[in-house]
Amino acid sequence: TITNQVIAMPKLHRVARLAALLAARGGRLGVAVDHIDGIERLAEAMAQYGSDAGIDVLVEIDVGQGRCGVPPGEAAVPLALAVSRSPRLRFAGLQAYHGRAQHLASSVGRRETIAAVVRAADHTRQLIEAAGLPVPLITGSGTGTLVHEAASGVFGELQAGSFLFMDADYARNERDPAQPAFEHALYVKTQVVSVRDTHAVCDAGHKSHAIDSGLPTVALLPADRTLRYANGGDEHGLLYADAPDARLPSLGHMLWLIPGHCDPTVNLHDFLIGVRGGLAAGTVERIIRVDARGALT
Ligand SMILES: Cc1ncc(COP(=O)(O)O)c(C=O)c1O
């Protein structure tokens, strides 16, 4: 699913092309909209492109994120009806994603926030259906709250992505007992390039991992895990041994960092190195190119 920021016509033509390419391979592209202008321009772009493939259109409701979306309730009804009247657009349902809820540290906080999301989405669905239009899908959720949307009986799709890799930010949050325990699978490998009395320095700064959700933690060997990573700028990280049982690593030592935020970290790299068998003893099995590298919009 791509979101509403597709108002520029050249971009909408690319969306129409992508929808046709996906349809030819048995896939479906979904776009979220929150304004009648966006719906009309998307319909125009689809008509100009001339493909019969059509495109799934979800009306986005703002369930608390404060980003895109119309308020839940009545405001979504005319948009859903407008989509359903357009021959090349398929009304696919509601986009009801609460991104901030994913990262709330307390499991009770996440559960209560998503309970309100579920009520808002269900109420909006009822209003659209009362206007005579079935709502095929309510979609949203992410790694932090997926158990709640899954159990709601209201959501038909979970958009979780980070669970595949996990990151230091998600790992810091309190786990709900119902939540699966996802393991870390994304690391940035780095080497110690300088050792001083007070700290060591490694060659991974924030050009190699995203720090918007906090700094990385140090993974793998028990001795390394006690090290504290601090921001050393663009190309460097500072390592402190301030835990009672910690020792500074030696020059040349290899470390694996668990990035603070996995999604924007992946986008900083051309390739992922696929290792099977664990970091210490595993073997490289695949080099995976990051196709979306630099595809920022
Ligand atoms: C709209 C939307 N849905 C789902 C997700 C996935 O969330 P997570 O990676 O936390 O599982 C994101 C993440 O940025 C998102 O923007």
Nearest protein CA to atom 7 of ligand 1, as residue: 142
One of 3.30.420.40, 2.40.37.20, 2.60.40.10, 3.90.700.10 is the CATH number of 188-289, namely 2.40.37.20
CB 285 within 8 A of CB 275: yes
Cα distances from 267 to residues 59, 140, 262, 263, 276, in angstroms, run: 28, 22, 9, 7, 22
Q: Residue 105 has which token pair?
A: 């540290």
Residues near ligand 1 (Cβ within 6 A): 97, 99, 102, 142-143, 159-162, 263
Domain definitions of the chain by residue range: 9-160, 188-289
pLDDT in tens, the chain (297 residues): 444 555 678 888 888 999 999 999 999 999 999 999 999 999 999 999 887 888 999 999 999 999 999 999 999 999 999 999 999 999 999 999 999 999 999 999 999 999 999 999 999 999 999 999 999 999 999 999 999 999 999 999 999 999 999 999 999 999 999 999 999 999 999 999 999 999 999 999 999 999 999 999 998 666 667 899 999 999 999 999 987 878 899 999 999 999 999 999 999 999 999 999 988 789 999 999 999 888 776
Q: Residue 139 has which token pair?
A: 């979609």
9-160 and 188-289: same fold?
no
Q: Do the bridges between strand 217-219 and strand 254-258 make them parallel or antiparallel, or are there none, so unpaired?
A: antiparallel
What is the position in ligand 1's atom list of the atom closest to the CA of 144?
10
Best of 95, 159, 182, 297 for a ligand 1 pocket test (most atoms within 8 Å of beta carbon):
159
Fold of 9-160: TIM Barrel (3.20.20)
* CA 34 / ligand 1 centre spacing (Å): 18
